[in-house]
């Protein structure tokens, strides 16, 4: 089966964001079960050039909010208003539909199109009529936008999120109703989607790296920081979680604990806790994670699944998580504590650090969790392929 995987950003040899990791997981899964997959989309300037002929880049385009200037963000906003599109979709209207159509036609006969997330179909609505399509819903985007509007600071941001929520709701409904099959990443999202389309399956995602934890790894004796957090903090749902952690959790932490926060953060973020350090973007995310005694998974909103949670469980890392952080995960490892109250979360972190130091809590072998995720990924993909084959 030959499928065109149409995405805002093509996969990267070294995925860094959750979106990139999810794309790599899905494309690799499709190829593993025997599909020929050709990717078509845009490429970020920081991304590696495509490694093979199965990737078609429409244009190199910087669409990340974290690296954008105020002027660039204003231009995106004005472009969205002018085009009457959500901001994410309007960013992609730098090439005409004719170019994307020509690239699709150049593939020859294909069995169908996989539309990956909402950005490309919002920018190029004719995509839905090109061939039978499956849709990958990374999140219920209009619900995420609605949540973001409630937590946004300032009237302009609230207005933009509310506007996006209204437009995305209409676009997503069209996608859900007309797709041969919808892939989503959590059971909560599946329940929302199946009201409009009964052909839905949940994909269990995997980090591309294979984590093999040996007995010597379980001692966790060599560490750089007690508690580690890593994420794309410029994304509003992640920002909300980090702000909650700094404002409400950190004041209850033992003052002697060290806390390292990796990833680009807003310049105004700070903490009075003497052990909290903002280390910025790190070269090796795996190394950063492994240098922590435990991880804090602090999501407070959003839909879909948290990729950092999947990675932590695959690595067998001890962690403390909110219930939002473990959404979409069927089996919670024994060395993960789930708390939503800020003080209880802090107390769990305090206790877990001490238990790791004393050997009462250790890193687990993530092989069984990884096997479970892989089997779920393949099963979900095969359900969708069966529907498009019909």
Nearest-angstrom CA–CA distance, 379 and 390: 17
How confident is residue 150, by pLDDT bands cut at 50, 70 and 90? confident
How confident is residue 144, by pLDDT bands cut at 50, 70 and 90? confident
Is the pLDDT reported for residue 381 higher than 70? Answer: yes
Cα angle for residues 187, 380, 389 (degrees, 5° grid): 130
User: pTM, whole model, 2 decimals?
Assistant: 0.83
Domains of the chain: 2-205+371-389 (3.40.50.2000), 215-365 (3.40.50.2000)
Which residue from 100, 96, 104 is spatially nearest to 132, judged by alpha carbons?
104
pLDDT of residue 222: 59
Percent of the chain, pLDDT > 90? Answer: 56
Buried b (16+ CB within 10 A) or exposed e, 24-37: bbbbebbeeeebeb
How confident is residue 218, by pLDDT bands cut at 50, 70 and 90? very low
Listed in sequence order, the residues at least 6 apart from 116 whose beta carbon sits closer than 8 Å to its beta carbon are 5, 6, 7, 8, 23, 26, 41, 136, 138
Mean pLDDT value of segment 244-255: 94
What is the DSSP code (8-state) at residue 106? Answer: T
Q: Helix (H, G, I), strand (E, B), or coil: what is residue 207?
A: coil
Q: Does residue 118 contact residue 168 with C-beta atoms inside 8 Å? A: yes
């Amino acid at each position: 089966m030959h499928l065109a995987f149409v995405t805002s950003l093509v996969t990267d040899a070294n995925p860094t964001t959750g979106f990139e990791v999810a794309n790599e997981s899905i494309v690799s899964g499709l190829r593993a079960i025997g599909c020929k997959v050709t990717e078509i989309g845009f490429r970020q300037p920081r991304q590696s050039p495509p490694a093979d002929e199965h990737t078609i880049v429409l244009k190199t385009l910087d669409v990340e909010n974290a690296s954008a200037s105020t002027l660039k963000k204003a231009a995106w906003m004005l472009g969205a208003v002018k085009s009457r599109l959500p901001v994410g979709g309007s960013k992609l209207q730098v090439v005409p539909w004719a170019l994307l159509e020509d690239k699709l036609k150049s593939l020859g006969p294909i069995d169908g199109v996989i539309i990956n997330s909402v950005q490309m179909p919002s920018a190029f609505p004719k995509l839905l009529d090109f061939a039978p399509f499956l849709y990958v819903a990374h999140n219920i985007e209009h619900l995420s936008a609605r949540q973001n509007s409630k937590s946004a600071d300032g009237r302009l941001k609230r207005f933009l999120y509310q506007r996006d929520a209204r437009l995305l709701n209409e676009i997503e409904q069209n996608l859900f109703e007309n797709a041969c099959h919808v892939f989503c990443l959590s059971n909560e999202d599946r329940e929302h989607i199946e009201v409009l389309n009964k052909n839905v399956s949940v994909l269990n995602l995997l980090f591309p790296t294979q984590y093999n934890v040996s007995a010597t790894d379980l001692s966790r004796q060599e560490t750089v920081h007690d508690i580690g957090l890593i994420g794309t903090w410029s994304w509003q749902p992640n920002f909300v979680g980090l702000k909650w952690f700094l404002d409400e959790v950190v004041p209850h932490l033992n003052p002697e604990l060290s806390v390292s926060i990796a990833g680009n953060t807003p310049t105004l973020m700070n903490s009075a806790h003497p052990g909290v350090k903002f280390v910025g973007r790190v070269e090796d995310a795996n190394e950063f994670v492994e240098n922590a005694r435990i991880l804090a998974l602090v999501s407070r909103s959003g839909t879909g699944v948290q990729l950092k949670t999947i990675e932590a469980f695959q690595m067998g890392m001890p962690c403390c998580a909110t219930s939002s952080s473990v959404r979409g995960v069927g089996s919670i490892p024994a060395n993960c504590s789930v708390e939503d109250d800020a003080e209880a979360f802090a107390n769990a972190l305090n206790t877990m650090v001490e238990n790791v130091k004393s050997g009462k809590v250790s890193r687990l072998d993530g092989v069984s969790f990884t096997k479970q995720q892989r089997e779920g990924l393949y099963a979900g993909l095969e359900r969708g392929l069966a529907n498009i084959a019909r």
